[in-house]
Chain A
Amino acid sequence: VVTQEPSLTVSPGGTVTLTCSSSTGAVTSGYYPNWFQQKPGHAPRALIHTTINRHSWTPARFSGSLLGGKAALTLSGVQPEDEAEYFCLLYYHGAWVFGGGTKLTVL
């Protein structure tokens, strides 16, 4: 089971960290953590792959890391358009498992 915070709230311009934990133990780079953003009515959009790597279209304010045995997505200088649901994805020996998602509110 992959677990994320169900919801978080952040002020515009602020910083927030979303985490992704595994029921099997500490998340490492071997789980190839991916992060996705999804807005209502749209397909998920890839943000971060293999723990820390941004895609070419991913704004620099999004960063991936490992933090305290979890995968983490940090948004620095949050913009109103960052309000969305965020999903992590971990690799388990041939299979992939999504987290339940974090609904991020920018308020």
Chain B
Amino acid sequence: VQLVESGGGVVQPGRSLRLSCVASGFNFETYGMHWVRQAPGKGPEWVAVIRHNGSNKHYRDSVKGRFTISRDNSKNTLYLQMDRLRVEDTAIYYCARDPDTFDVWGQGTMVTVSS
């Protein structure tokens, strides 16, 4: 069972970035998935959740209207489209499995928003 994130990098404020999380070793299409972020030296912060079939999505208030969570079950992949990025979005972004237990986490991908 493994989750591998990618797509992080350094980006200017106001620009966009798309993160990916590729799942392996389990039946991806039966699990809801989360994105969680952690700014340097801070605690984790939940970002968004999507149900197993993509039918239901929820976001933290500070990213509503800017971030979009989605998934492609045919590719075992979870996405996070991040638009209008702000300096305060700088963090390691993790994907995590299961809507209620967050049992499996990826290693994270670093996003730095800086001019």
Contacts and interface: CB of A to CB of B under 8 A. Distances in A.
A81 B58 CA distance: 36
Interface residues of B, number: 20
A100 B58 contact: no
Contacts of B60: 95
Contacts of A96: 34, 46, 49
A45 B94 CA distance: 12
A55 B46 contact: no
Given A36-B102, A89-B102, A101 B43 contact: yes
A63 interface: no
Contacts, number: 55
A99 interface: yes
Given A43-B94, A95-B58, A95-B60, A100 B43 contact: yes
A100 B42 CA distance: 8
A25 interface: no
B94 to A, nearest CB: 6
A76 to B, nearest CB: 22
Interface residues of A, number: 24
A89 B101 CA distance: 10
Interface in A31-73: 32, 34, 36, 38, 43-46, 49-50, 53, 55
Given A36-B102, A49-B103, A55-B103, 14 more contacts: A32-B100, A43-B94, A43-B106, A43-B107, A44-B94, A45-B105, A49-B101, A87-B43, A94-B58, A95-B46, A95-B60, A98-B43, A98-B45, A98-B46
Interface of B: 34, 36, 43-46, 49, 58-60, 94, 100-108
Interface of A: 32, 34, 36, 38, 43-46, 49-50, 53, 55, 85, 87, 89, 91, 94-101
